Amino acid sequence: MDALLQNPAFRIYAICSVILGVKMLTSAVYTATRRQKTAGFINPEDVTAFASPGTTARVEEAPEVAHALRIQRNDGENIPLFFAIGLIYVLTGASAFGATVLCSLFTVARVAHTFAYTYRKQPARAICFATGLVCTLLMIFRIIINVL
């Protein structure tokens, strides 16, 4: 494990994962604030606990909450995949340069994706999504070369 900590590629991966983790938790809190703001509670027990008197539970998500949930869903399809692929990439001998470029670019792209989704910017959001996808594919390509 000391060897891992000495490995600059692993340190880059660790820092990027931590940034993405904070981003995911921030998105979860953002969804909760949208729910509170719109009183968009689906669970009756949430209405009782958190809503002002007279509020009733919704059957459908409020539009702002659904929008926040789509941000989280898109993260959920991409970031856990990075956690796994990025780690395998580092453990199969990524260079410090390669890990710095691919992990950092993925992280910047996903943080920018959240801003683009929140402020509803297209095609910026699509470009961010595609950038993250290309970074993941390049790491996958490198893993295949290293393992075979």
User: Is residue 17 within the footprint of a copy of itself (CB under 8 A)?
Assistant: yes
User: Is residue 145 within the footprint of a copy of itself (CB under 8 A)?
Assistant: no
Half-sphere exposure of 7 toward its Cβ, with a 13 Å CA cutoff? 18
User: What percent of the chain is helix, strand and coil (3-state, nearest 5)?
Assistant: 80, 0, 20
User: Is residue 102 within the footprint of a copy of itself (CB under 8 A)?
Assistant: no
Residues touching a copy of itself, count (CB under 8 A)? 57
Cβ atoms 143, 85 nearer than 8 A: yes
Q: 52, 53, 54, 120: which one contacts a copy of itself (CB under 8 A)?
A: 120
- Prior bond to 63 cis, omega within 30? no
Residue of 54, 109, 115 lying closest to 79 (CA atoms): 109
User: Is residue 53 within the footprint of a copy of itself (CB under 8 A)?
Assistant: no
User: Is residue 11 within the footprint of a copy of itself (CB under 8 A)?
Assistant: yes
* Residue located via tokens 């970031």: 79
DSSP conformation class of 92 = T
User: Is residue 64 within the footprint of a copy of itself (CB under 8 A)?
Assistant: no
User: Is residue 1 within the footprint of a copy of itself (CB under 8 A)?
Assistant: yes
Backbone angle region of 93, left / alpha / beta, with phi > 0 → left and psi within -120 to 50 → alpha: left
**Least spacing, CB of residue 13 vs a copy of itself, in Å:** 8
Residues that bind a copy of itself (CB under 8 A): 1, 3-5, 7, 10-11, 13-15, 17-18, 21-22, 24-25, 28, 42-46, 48-50, 66-67, 70, 72, 76-78, 80-81, 83-85, 87-88, 91-93, 120-123, 125-126, 133, 136-137, 140, 143-144, 146-148
